[in-house]
Copies of this chain bind each other. A is one copy, B any other.
Amino acid sequence: MTVPPFRPVIAIHGGAGTMSRAHAATGQEAAYHEALHAVLLPAQALLAAGGSALDAVSLAVDLLEECALFNAGHGAVFTHAGTHELDAAVMDGATLRAGAVCCVSRVRRPARAARAVMEHSEHVLFAGAGAEEFARRHGLELVDPSYFSTAARRDQLQRALAADRTLLDHDGAALAADTPAAPLEERGKMGTVGAVAVDAQGSLAAATSTGGMTNKQPGRVGDSPLIGAGTYADNATAAISCTGTGEMFIRLAVAHDVCARMRYGGLSLAQASEVVVHEALPAIAGRGGLVAVDRHGNVSMPFNTEGMYRGHARVGEAPYTAIFG
């Protein structure tokens, strides 16, 4: 029996945001650390048992979607219209195959729908009712849109609507004063979950899922489901999942840009990730972060906000989780 040449690792994020001082000192953080561990451990076990990176990121995002603490699946934020619109994507770095859905409101697990698109269609991205019909035909669970609603997210929408009425510049400063339940004040803009992994074969995969922005206009699509923007994986370079002000991530094609700086510019994973997050994004006022792995098991998790829910787990090591910088 040969020793696998690659040491598997999974890295995840639950969104980036600005610290809410009122909560930074409370015990609220413990719940987030626990939730991140509860995602990392089964994904780590899957990789330890020889599972693929693709299955590991799918499992991790599945669990993140089902956790109400994070803005994806159950616990997704509300649109301006009081509805939910969820987006998700997955990409296989070995084949460059990818699948994604956007603007779905009845698919319980959007990341599974994205994977079904990748595996069972010749297409990459389905939107809206077409995406839901595709999911239904492929046996995925559909739910009433109210399934995604939580009281905390409804409160967040009410605060955002109130702020909209008084803040013409939409800068959300008034929201920060009215602190939410989470230790990171998302301002409704940064909530996304994602996972990247390398498996024992050295294959990479990335997956991202989100409920989008609180109070967003119906039909708005952010970076998460867009291959190259919020999600990318290529065995030649890296697997990337992003979180932040999605529009800026789209304009820079952030996930692909990290890979391109490695491939064409010769940067390391850490160098490429950090220059994008700390230089390119701030240059256009982009805020957020990303998680990244390469096939050598390097992990990079830079963010330019005050915090990002994040963690990673190497096979054979205790998981690491963190919230603040």
Contact = CB atoms under 8 A, between A and B. Distances in A.
A317 interface: no
Contacts of A103: 127-128, 130
A112 to B, nearest CB: 17
Interface stretch (A43-51, A61-69, A159-167, A254-262): A254-262
Given A134-B217, A221-B127, A228 B247 contact: no
Which size class do A's interface residues fall under? 35 or more
As for how many copies of this chain the complex holds, the number is: 2
Contacts of A222: 125
Contacts of A121: 217
B126 A128 contact: no
Contacts of A246: 124
A79 to B, nearest CB: 9
A143 interface: no
Interface string A199-237: 000000000000000001111111000111100100000
A227 B227 contact: no
A260 to B, nearest CB: 3
Contacts of A265: 264-265
A277 interface: no
A133 B227 contact: no
Interface string A29-41: 0000000000000
Nearest to A266: B264
Nearest to A254: B228
Interface in A237-281: 246-247, 250-253, 256-257, 260-261, 263-265
A177 interface: no
A96 interface: yes
Closest 8 CB pairs of A and B: A130-B219, A228-B253, A260-B260, A264-B265, A264-B264, A130-B218, A253-B256, A125-B221
Given A91-B251, A226-B226, 11 more contacts: A96-B252, A103-B128, A123-B217, A123-B221, A124-B221, A125-B220, A126-B219, A134-B217, A227-B253, A256-B260, A264-B265
